[in-house]
């Protein structure tokens, strides 16, 4: 799916999430695109890679993923490989628990609620009028382990501006 199609298809769900949670729809869209490889990797309608606690209640799934962590002994349900990528950074290939959703809209709202209600994202929520600052703040607060996450989101926000009028 190309960027224009992805953004057009998921714009309504992002707007519903923004109305309910105040999380900028632009950030919701670019995170969903980045985390799901433009919608091609969203098992169980999980467009954001939202983790689950692994308590078996039917709303979870065990999926293969990458993690960047400053701990060479981190525990996961399944560890496939661990590679040191910096002085104090390791890249893990693991299977971990992720949430499942009934629809993209349900997932987008859950993502917005997570950001709006979790105390570690309080600084980001002060910048709901600036999607660029919001994106940087959620990364700073620990949303993603990829060290280039903010740069990737900013690049995608720039692309989004050319597709959907702000």
- Paired strand residues for 65: 94
Q: What Rg, from alpha-carbon coordinates, does the chain have?
A: 16
List, in sequence order, the alpha helices (H) in the chain. 3-21, 25-35, 104-117, 122-125, 131-140, 149-163
Read off the pLDDT of residues 30-86 as tens digits, 9 standing for 90 and up.
999 999 999 999 999 999 988 887 666 678 899 998 888 898 999 999 999 999 999
Task: Please name each of the domains of the chain with its CATH number.
Answer: 3-163 (1.10.530.10)
Residue 86: beta bridge partners? 89
The verdict on pTM exceeding 0.85 is no
pLDDT for res 20: 98
């Amino acid at each position: 799916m190309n960027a224009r199609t992805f953004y057009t298809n998921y714009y309504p769900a992002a707007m519903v999430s923004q109305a309910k949670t105040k999380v900028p729809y632009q950030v919701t869209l670019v995170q969903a695109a980045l985390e799901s490889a433009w919608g091609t990797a969203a098992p169980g309608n999980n467009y954001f890679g939202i983790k689950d606690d692994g308590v078996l209640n039917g709303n979870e799934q065990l999926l293969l993923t990458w993690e960047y962590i400053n701990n060479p002994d981190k525990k996961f349900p399944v560890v496939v490989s661990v590679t040191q990528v910096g002085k104090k950074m390791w890249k893990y290939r693991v299977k971990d628990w992720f949430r499942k959703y009934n629809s993209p809209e349900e997932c987008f709202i859950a993502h917005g609620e997570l950001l709006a209600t979790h105390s570690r994202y309080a600084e980001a929520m002060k910048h709901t009028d600036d999607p660029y600052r919001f994106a940087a703040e959620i990364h700073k607060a620990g949303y993603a382990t990829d060290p280039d996450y903010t740069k990737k989101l900013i690049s995608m926000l720039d692309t989004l501006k050319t597709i959907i009028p702000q």
